[in-house]
Chains A and B, each alone.
Chain A
Amino acid sequence: MFKEERTESQFDWSMLGNLAEGRPNLGDSMNVAVYRLMQFTLRDVLIQRMGVADADRVFYEAGRKAGEQFYTHVLTKKGSFPEFVGDLQESLQKLNIGILRVELADLEKLNFTLTVAEDLDCSGLPVCGEQVCTYDEGFIHGLLTSHTGREFRVREVDCWASGDRVCRFEAHAI
């Protein structure tokens, strides 16, 4: 399940396991620093092995898969766009992932500008002139594709690590 060789995705939501059963004392929450420790060490090794571009692709695809699964298994309001956004905002907040806000939503052309404040991946990082939330780009892609049935191009245009105070993502349907 977790270590088989594969050429196609074998991820399933059930792989997250039963947290109540597995962690009856420590519960299902964890420090953000530990999450970042895992992500950035993983990023470090991936870049060494395959280069920045490929490492980014890995994170984007993983984020997209996570977004699709999140839409299916966590979100419950999938009717209109405002309902979907409301549900997503609430879920991201409850799970301490970030504070999602909508700056622009053109439902005709399917162009969106979304911001995430206190982003799990990057808020508080040292300012280094880089936009690092590649996983979040994929995550948003997965969510929007699941909701609209259309493919998207999602790009982070502002990031804490590049000096902004919120992460801003632009998404365009293709």
Chain B
Amino acid sequence: MVTVAAHYLDQLTGTVYQILRGEKPPPLQLPADYPEDEFKQLVGYINRFIREYDEFADFMYSMARGELDQPPPAGKMRVLQSFKSLQANLRHLTWKTQQIANGDLAQRVDFMGDFSTAFNEMTRQLEQAFADLQQEKERSEQLLRNVTDSIRYAQRIQSALLPAPGALASYLADRFCLWLPRDIVGGDIYCMEECPAGALVALLDCTGHGVPGALMSMLAVTGLRRLIRDEHCYSPALLLARLNESIRTTLRQDTATTPSDDGLDAAICLIAPAQGRLIFAGAHLPLYTVANGQLAQLRGDRASLGYKRSKTDFAFTSHTIELRPDLAFYLCTDGLLDQPGGPRGLPFGHHGLQQVLEAHWREPFAQQREALQDQLLAHAGTHSRRDDVTVLGWTVAAPSSQPAGGPLTASLHVPGVGHANDRSV
């Protein structure tokens, strides 16, 4: 029979009591010379239980904090095996979730009761949502392709309205046309027409970009051509005034009921080499000249064309410029000057235009065009294009190169040219 001192039994009782109370009892201690009997063996196993229980508790605590990489204790207690199983399942779920995060929505979890059901339903819904999204994306892409194809076709039509590459060849010694619609088609358009008075060059900047701008540009350019060809109006100032009226009435913007309020800015030049002059009138758009490497600006009137608010009786100013062999002319829409760019997102501006034209004024116009376009792109950088950009540049050919029977002498009066607001420059 084994005899155990009462205080050892008390220690044993105290240890079990501490474990049940959630405390961490120290190992039971027996003297070194304690006999190797059943009680000493029991104490050994109790101490082993305390140690493994502590390890198990620490393991469970780390798992509760989401630390799934903690290696499980080496014991064989049943409760430990179950929690090892739980850790294995949690790690497996982590791996499954990582696969889903990597795009594999076919992942499913089995034999984990309610969690399996909830997890699998979540992935099924995710898979469905992605499939719906993909379908919608494909549908949108197809729609975009259709619309873009339609706009590209519209570009062909708008391009057909532009002057032929050799237009006014006999009047212009050198020229360039830089036409850059922002959205395949746009609201900028230009026009070059021969007339009994000489040659007309017009630049029109209509409201909007893209398709609405293109529609306006077609309306404006056909209206202008009708005034020139059918109504024989050749005065830039008069053409602006009548184009104003034409747009307002065509769009019913002379009434209060129309929903639209669209119009344009414009610049028109009449080149009359036989008379040695160029006549300019502008509705907001200026005329630039370069002579001896110096840029000068001739401002247009502060009045737009075609809007409801545009005054029908506004008298545009005619500016007359004496032609000289060293004089180059430029028209541009505000899309160039307003383009933001550079490190501080500032507009290209008058200064930007001046820099390019004054640096390249001696070069052929094809090279000037290239320089302007390169500088615009470099300035814009990562900033997206803000507006349509059009720049026209030319020098006037000597009068002897005009066609016979062409421009008239200075003494012949041409109806529609000559205005109360004439100014000489």
Contact = CB atoms under 8 A, between A and B. Distances in A.
A166 B81 CA distance: 9
Contacts of B91: 103-104, 113
B104 interface: yes
Interface in B79-96: 81-82, 84-85, 88-89, 91-92, 95-96
B106 interface: yes
Contacts of B82: 165
A99 interface: yes
Contacts of A164: 81, 84-85
Which bucket holds chain B's interface residue count? 10 to 19
B24 to A, nearest CB: 25
B310 to A, nearest CB: 66
Contact of A99 (B84, B96, B107, B111): B111
Interface residues of A, number: 21
By CB atoms of chain A within 10 A, which of B89, B95, B96, B107 has the most? B95
Contacts, number: 46
Interface in A113-161: 113, 115, 117, 129, 158
Interface string A92-106: 010000010111110
Nearest to A100: B92
A168 interface: yes
A100 B124 CA distance: 21
B88 A129 contact: no
B89 to A, nearest CB: 7
B110 interface: yes
A165 B81 contact: yes
Contact of A162 (B76, B96, B104, B106): B76
B99 A82 contact: yes
Given A99-B111, A102-B95, A105-B95, A158 B84 contact: yes
Given A86-B107, A103-B88, A103-B95, 15 more contacts: A82-B102, A86-B104, A86-B106, A99-B110, A102-B95, A102-B96, A104-B91, A105-B95, A158-B84, A162-B76, A163-B78, A164-B81, A165-B81, A165-B85, A166-B85
6 contacts: A99-B111, A103-B88, A117-B111, A162-B76, A165-B81, A166-B84
